[in-house]
Amino acid sequence: MKFRQLGNTGIKVSEVGFGAWQLGNARDRGGMDDNQAIKLVHQALDQGCNFFDTAPNYGGGKSESLLGEAFSGKRSVAVINSKFGHHPDNTFDFDSQKIRSSVEGSLRRLKTEYLDSILLHNPPFEILTGSSGHFEVLESLKQEGKIRAYGASVDSGQEMRELLENTGSQVIEVMFNIFHQEPRSAFTLAAEKNVGLIVKVPLDSGWLSGKYDENSVFTDIRSRWDKEQLRKRAEFLPVLKEMLEPGESLVQLALRYILNYQEISTVIPGNKNLKQLIENLSASEKRISAGKVEKLEVLWEETLQADPLGW
């Protein structure tokens, strides 16, 4: 596993991290039992993965609790990123006066004295302007040692620029993948300000695993995709599969495309078993060619930039 700096935080993170949304989350992705979840986290650590992304609402707080169990005696080798705004009872509330209690709840569930980073979890745009008091609270928590860094999780380059220009964010999590490339318009500014970038939804909610087609039926959060969304995604699969090297999977191509951008610190695919975990982490072993990166950029610019896919 290769490591990169998380912006100016002084924290080194594995290029491929561990998206922990699925831990304890039987409602959306079938889930796994507690022992399986803890074992999978230990297997990730054994493979050199040290970055774990969670949130209070993942599994109603159980994702954080399972990570807390898994990190018993191992906290020093793990980098934990959690969030604020989506709460364990599945409500959204971004009241800045609730940040402290939310962080303290995460600390209890994770059985730790500090979070390496915490992000405002897709907050309303006006909060990103830095004028609402949220970042002052986060800075206070940082000074107290309860968090090491802070920022926000967002979906667009516009939101990234707002954060970068108006707040003291050290870390930004952003949705970015082969199908959703708009955020790269803000990568240079992030690098100039030495802000660490975490990439979420790198496999387009599993679509870039190559396991689905336009006739696939989803009963979880992916049921938001209508037939037209599925058809448009399916059209790209043959093109992407033609770009694969011998022995390379579509998952690895998708992750290697993301890791090509040196502005990015880590990418956080999810996984439900050891096979998926190894496939994700092995993306760090090789690099994608500049020619393929250019081809994927042009593909997006010519077909999706003006008519983007819904996430």
pLDDT tens column, 32-74: 789 999 999 999 999 999 999 999 999 999 999 999 999 999 9
Q: Taking Cα atoms as reference points, which of 152, 182, 180 lies closest to residue 167?
A: 152
pLDDT attached to residue 216: 79
| b/e code 256-294 from CB counts within 10 Å (16+ = b) | bbbbbeebbbbbbbbbbeeebbebbbbbbeeebeeebee
Least confident stretch, 54-68, 220-234, 265-279: 220-234
- pLDDT of 22 reads 87
- Single out the residue of 42, 18, 37, 40 nearest to residue 26, CA to CA: 37
pLDDT given for residue 119 in this prediction: 98
214 band by pLDDT with thresholds 50, 70 and 90: confident
Res. 226 pLDDT band, cuts 50 70 90: confident
- Please tell me the least confidently modeled range out of 11-20, 171-180, 190-199, 228-237: 228-237
**Mean pLDDT over each residue of the chain, to the nearest integer:** 94
Q: In the chain, what percentage of residues exceed pLDDT 70? A: 98
Clarify whether 261 is annotated catalytic: no
Residue 218 maps to a domain: no
User: Does the pLDDT at position 27 exceed 70?
Assistant: no
Q: What is the largest CA-CA distance in the chain?
A: 53
- Residue 303 resides in a domain: no
Q: Are 25 and 63 in contact (CB under 8 A)?
A: yes
- Average pLDDT estimate for 107-124: 98
101, pLDDT greater than 90: yes
Phi, psi of 37 (to 5 degrees): -60, -45
Q: Does residue 240 lie within any of the structural domains?
A: no
Question: Confidence class of residue 6 from pLDDT cuts 50, 70 and 90?
Answer: very high
**Strands (DSSP E) found in the chain:** 3-5, 12-14, 18-19, 51-53, 79-84, 117-121, 150-154, 171-175, 196-200, 264-267
Model pLDDT for residues 157-200, shown as the tens digit of each residue:
999 999 999 999 999 999 999 999 999 999 999 999 999 999 99
212 pLDDT band, cuts 50/70/90, is confident
Q: What is the pLDDT of residue 311?
A: 78
* pLDDT value of position 32: 76
Under the banding of pLDDT at 50, 70 and 90, the label for residue 31 is low
Q: Does pLDDT of 222 surpass 90?
A: no
Residue % of the chain over a pLDDT of 90: 84
102: domain CATH number? Answer: 3.20.20.100
Residue carrying structure tokens 């990418």 = 267
Is 237 within the bounds of a domain?
no
Q: What average pLDDT does range 106-119 have in this prediction?
A: 98
CA distance 35 to 94: 33
Total number of residues shown for the chain = 311
Q: Which domain holds residue 202?
A: 3-206+259-286
244 located within any domain: no
Return the pLDDT at 221. Answer: 74
Is the pLDDT assigned to residue 29 strictly greater than 60? no
Q: How far is CA 73 from CA 40, 76, 111, 135, 208, in A?
A: 16, 8, 11, 32, 35
- How many folded domains does the chain comprise? 1
Determine the average pLDDT of the residues in 119-129.
Answer: 96
Q: Answer yes or no: is pLDDT of 219 > 80.
A: no
Has residue 213 been placed in a domain? Answer: no
218 pLDDT higher than 70: yes
pLDDT of 146 higher than 70: yes
Retrieve residue 237's tokens. 């699969």
Q: Is position 44 within any domain?
A: yes
pLDDT tier at 100, thresholds 50, 70, 90: very high
Q: Residue 219: inside a domain, yes or no?
A: no
